A = this chain, B = another copy of it.
């Protein structure tokens, strides 16, 4: 149980709650506090999974209002959960079922998008979404290259350290974060101003790193300064069928050898996943027709921000030539071009797989050198012990990230069994972490959904240090719903 002054002997809870909400409402403008249960439920419901209940939703418009809210909450020990665009998948930005957590939504921190085109950087408020940021960058020929199947807020992207499908070329949020502003829980409401737009700055520990990928547990990010990149002027896309699983990594290596600076995506797609897309998404046909859907294929993208004429090079021709050279060796078949169509297939997988039954999703990663043996062993494991589950995996081979998703089919012959799912999840995670030195959460973060796995797979020394950091940053344990050490009493 959280320590809270909401419930005391001397004051009726409802009355005290009302007083808190009135006081908090006075810190923001008239649209800054939502207490209506219906209005709140939107903020209490996860993007894809789960729902909780919020005491109220606070919607400040600037860092100073955030600071005032944190001060008040610290004084009265009111717990908060931070929320950006609420697109996360691990319940890190929604309240639990207690109805006692306030949601601190940053969605209205959206005054500033200040572009410095010469420095290739932008200072942007936490509530601005990725799409809005890219719209503002577009006239400068720039973009923020984290490619995701969602439209998160910039603050949420920092808190989750999102990576996406083009990490191999551009890096993740951490790689492109030059500075930030955060509001601390200790001292309550203190502004930490690290809004540098510097690529080189070694003047002490890099404090901004504390807030990257920490699910909002260490403080509230209110502004980020990002390095941005030039928009590609040409791309080349291909859907390639490797000879077999053993050929996938040699194919990746050959492409890194031929196009080390241009390779932007190398996305494995299992035949089962592609087949689901073809069957369930009416607008998308089998790109290999009249041939059958292959057992496995890889979506490849090269890109360059140089204009084709200034570079004197057509990436599509170069990619074709390279694949031709590999044909009969590691390459068995390929569809080249039609980039938008091919990416539509990739982005339709999640939806298509959901139509097959209940999805058991994975967001794992490992050194890419072991992806093929892992996949073989994991497929064996499922086939031998959970034969009614359909594996429909896909993943970012170039950066080692794998969505080894499976489906409990509607027609499985046995009812969906959460305990059984838990066992298969444990078995796969054990394989990933213990045998292949991988991660149980490549991109999605910890949050309440991954909390048990965090404790299971994180070393004692790491948990102790991460927990001490959390106590340092948030001594009362009021911030967020993710606990890296022991949950405060």
A interface, CB within 8 angstroms of B: 116, 118-121, 160-161, 163, 167-168, 171-172, 174-175, 184, 190-194, 196-207, 209-210, 212-214, 217-218, 229-230, 249, 253, 256-262, 304-307, 310-313, 318, 321-322, 365-369, 396, 399-401, 437-446, 450, 453-454, 457-459, 461-462, 465-466, 468-469, 472, 484
A118 and B253 contact, CB distance less than 8 A:
yes
A318 and B311 contact, CB distance less than 8 A:
yes
A437 and B206 contact, CB distance less than 8 A:
no
Task: Choose among A191, A399, A469 the residue with the greatest number of B CB atoms under 10 Å from its CB.
Answer: A469
Residues from chain B with a CB closer than 8 A to the CB of A259 are 306, 311
A190 and B461 contact, CB distance less than 8 A:
yes
Residues from chain B with a CB closer than 8 A to the CB of A198 are 365-367, 400, 438-439, 442
A399 and B261 contact, CB distance less than 8 A:
no
Q: Contacts A175-B175, A310-B257; is A369 near B203 (CB within 8 Å)? A: no
In the bound assembly, the distance between CA atoms of A253 and B120 in angstroms comes to 10
In the bound assembly, the distance between CA atoms of A218 and B311 in angstroms comes to 46
Residues from chain B with a CB closer than 8 A to the CB of A116 are 367, 369
A312 and B313 contact, CB distance less than 8 A:
yes
Residues from chain B with a CB closer than 8 A to the CB of A205 are 210, 213-214, 217-218, 466, 469, 484
A258 and B202 contact, CB distance less than 8 A:
no
Q: Contacts A171-B175, A198-B365; is A440 near B203 (CB within 8 Å)? A: yes
A206 and B118 contact, CB distance less than 8 A:
no
In the bound assembly, the distance between CA atoms of A185 and B26 in angstroms comes to 46
Of all chain B residues, the one with the shortest Cβ separation from A402 is: B200
In the bound assembly, the distance between CA atoms of A306 and B172 in angstroms comes to 24
In the bound assembly, the distance between CA atoms of A469 and B208 in angstroms comes to 13
Inter-chain pairs besides A198-B400, A469-B469, 14 sampled, C-beta below 8 Å: A118-B369, A119-B368, A163-B202, A174-B206, A190-B461, A199-B365, A199-B401, A202-B446, A204-B214, A204-B458, A205-B213, A261-B261, A311-B313, A469-B472
A305 and B441 contact, CB distance less than 8 A:
no
A200 and B365 contact, CB distance less than 8 A:
yes
Q: Contacts A205-B214, A257-B306; is A191 near B461 (CB within 8 Å)? A: yes
B258 and A192 contact, CB distance less than 8 A:
no
B200 and A458 contact, CB distance less than 8 A:
no
Task: Choose among A175, A365, A443, A457 the residue with the greatest number of B CB atoms under 10 Å from its CB.
Answer: A365
Of the residues B118, B161, B440, contact of A249 by C-beta under 8 Å: B118
Residues from chain B with a CB closer than 8 A to the CB of A160 are 202
A322 and B310 contact, CB distance less than 8 A:
yes
In the bound assembly, the distance between CA atoms of A367 and B114 in angstroms comes to 14
A196 and B461 contact, CB distance less than 8 A:
no
Residues from chain B with a CB closer than 8 A to the CB of A201 are 365, 439, 441-442
Q: Contacts A230-B256, A310-B258; is A465 near B202 (CB within 8 Å)? A: no
In the bound assembly, the distance between CA atoms of A41 and B145 in angstroms comes to 50
Of all chain B residues, the one with the shortest Cβ separation from A444 is: B202
Q: Contacts A204-B462, A205-B214; is A399 near B306 (CB within 8 Å)? A: no
Of the residues B200, B207, B322, B367, contact of A119 by C-beta under 8 Å: B367
Task: Choose among A203, A206, A459 the residue with the greatest number of B CB atoms under 10 Å from its CB.
Answer: A203
In the bound assembly, the distance between CA atoms of A468 and B444 in angstroms comes to 29
A461 and B193 contact, CB distance less than 8 A:
yes
The 3 closest A-B pairs by CB, nearest first: A209-B209, A261-B261, A118-B369
A457 and B399 contact, CB distance less than 8 A:
no
Residues from chain B with a CB closer than 8 A to the CB of A465 are 184, 192, 207
Of all chain B residues, the one with the shortest Cβ separation from A304 is: B261
Q: Contacts A212-B206, A260-B230; is A121 near B163 (CB within 8 Å)? A: no
A297 CB to closest chain B CB (Å) equals 20
